[in-house]
Structure 1
Amino acid sequence: MSCYRFWLNGLQALFSGEGMEKVLVMKFGGASVAAPESFERVAEIIMERRTQYHNIAVVVSAMGDTTDELISLARKVNPNPPKREMDMLITVGERISIALLAMALAKNGVVAKSFTGSQSGIVTSHEHTGAKIVNVKPHRLHKTFADGHLAIVAGFQGVSTEGEITTLGRGGSDTTAVALAAAIGAPSVEFYKDVAGIFDADPKRHSQAVKFSSMTYEDAYKLVSRGAEVLHPRCIKLAEKNGVILQVKSFINGDDPGTVIQGDNRGVPAVPVYELEEEALLAGR
């Protein structure tokens, strides 16, 4: 999308008053930012959504195989590296991605600020390499929105109640995105993947695989728990707790609606709930 079209669409939305109070969380996995040139495509998708949503938080994973490469590097130095130092090392991958995406958006005239997990207010338990989210305090994100800017958040990471950098384990960026949505009042999260939604079989291996247009949280959880890697089970459970709608889409074909995961939203709490209760965690220290 050209910069002129982005500006024109945004101006029309401004004067019509449409979308200016809406909040959206978008999540881009490692496959969608696998190469430097990928960030331009991601920036285009974000700018297109900006015409409908004034406040957008974008959660990004590390580029391609960066996390695996960092783990391999660590084990060349120490076959059994301390978990604390592993967290310090592998959180670098997401920091690279958020900075590059902010640069790609800046090239297109969009001001976006990048934040690590700790800067975003993602508070976790103290288990290194497998922490759970206990709270989200998105004060800096709200300030960014108030300034009219986009927020880009490093997935997969946070800061423990003891002030240590932590990671959430494999698939943790998906959980980051849902937790942020609950915290900032976004009704949905859009996940951009290298597949066009959730299928009854791996579409990369089975050409006849059928895509689900919609699913319940329960059905989606069962499917991913059986090995489908499109979403992490933890993020689905967290979404169900908070009534956050999940939409799995293709970053190649953004017009495809993909798969929508939702429930009836009965019993959704007025205050966000996370993976663990912070008060109980602090009391048990």
Structure 2
Amino acid sequence: MKFGGAAMANSDCFSKLATLIKTRLKKTSQIVVVVSAMGTTTDELMDLANIIHPNPPKREQDMLISVGERVSMALLAMALDLRGIDAISFTGSQSGIITTNEHSEARILEVRPERIKRALAEKKVVIVAGFQGVSIEKEITTLGRGGSDTSAVALAIALGSQKVEFYKDVPGIGENNPKTHPETEIFSDLTYEKTLTIVGEGAEILHHQCLELAKEHGIILEIRPFYEPERVGTTIYTS
């Protein structure tokens, strides 16, 4: 499960997400959740950085903006605990997401999910901070805009999962952006190739690296509206 920032726009949202996860636990015994930063947190942190420094050092920028996802993961773990669900949150580095050395635009090299596997074996819901990892030089890195989507797919591959559910603020993927063209027809099914074309034309539904990675490993992607979580808007898979 991957929750974007819009699904966690404010503190009330965490209660709804925890209820959704509790419901999902009736159907499956193992759940890994990847979270983005709340709402516009990343933009707000970048604005703050730019007040301090017009061109902040990339390393320090990564240290700053990676905080957003950590806030989300901890709050969701708390919301689950309140409902009697054993949950644990992990940062990207704690999750074993190893990246290249480039700050702000790092690429995932491999995932070593040993701690996640142990937590799942202990029947815990695992919540992972998306968008971030640790470089081969032990530095905190971020994956660029939309990088949390890539985190989710990379973890699915490492854990042997066949599918990732993305909970977005749109009902699915259409010919036009559903946010600005609510009347647009939503595709129920798409190939990776068609989705990459749509993303390449400016749609910001999924990160292109996420799609390339899913295509390479045959991971099925489902786009669901977070406000109607049982509805599958668009399913993306190989042709």
Determine which of 55, 58, 68 is the counterpart of 1:93.
Answer: 68
User: Are 2:140 and 1:165 aligned?
Assistant: yes
Q: Partners in 2 of 1:131 and 1:107 — Cα distance? A: 35
Larger Rg: 1
Unaligned runs of 5+ in 2: none
Equivalence map 1:77-226=2 (5 Å) = 77-226=52-201
SS at match of 1:211: coil
* Residue identity in the other structure for 1:176: S
**Root mean square deviation of aligned Cα:** 0.8
Q: Partners in 2 of 1:204 and 1:29 — Cα distance? A: 15
Normalised by the size of structure 1, how large is the TM-score? 0.83
Normalised by the size of structure 2, how large is the TM-score? 0.98
Determine which of 24, 29, 38 is the counterpart of 1:49.
Answer: 24
Contact 2:167 2:226 in 1 (8 A): yes
Report deviation, 1:202: 1.8
Report deviation, 1:75: 1.0
Q: Partners in 2 of 1:142 and 1:203 — Cα distance? A: 37
Report deviation, 1:196: 1.2
User: Are 2:26 and 1:61 aligned?
Assistant: no
Q: Partners in 2 of 1:34 and 1:255 — Cα distance? A: 20
Report deviation, 1:203: 2.0
Report deviation, 1:225: 1.1
Q: Deviations over 1:67-91 (max 9, x none)?
A: 0111111111111111000010110
* Residue identity in the other structure for 1:127: E
Q: Partners in 1 of 2:45 and 2:118 — Cα distance? A: 33
Percent identity over the alignment is: 55
Contact 2:171 2:178 in 1 (8 A): no
Q: Partners in 2 of 1:205 and 1:80 — Cα distance? A: 32
Match of 1:244 in 2: 219
Report deviation, 1:98: 0.1
Equivalence map 1:9-28=2 (5 Å) = 26-28=1-3
Q: Partners in 2 of 1:43 and 1:102 — Cα distance? A: 8
Q: Deviations over 1:38-74 (max 9, x none)?
A: 0011112212221122111100000011001111111
User: Alignment length, in residue pairs?
Assistant: 239
* Residue identity in the other structure for 2:26: T
* Residue identity in the other structure for 1:252: Y
Q: Partners in 2 of 1:158 and 1:125 — Cα distance? A: 9
SS at match of 1:239: helix
Match of 2:50 in 1: 75
Q: Deviations over 1:198-257 (max 9, x none)?
A: 111122322320000000000011001111111111100000111110000011112212
* Residue identity in the other structure for 1:48: T
Match of 1:231 in 2: 206
SS at match of 2:11: coil
Q: Partners in 2 of 1:166 and 1:202 — Cα distance? A: 30
Contact 2:166 2:222 in 1 (8 A): yes
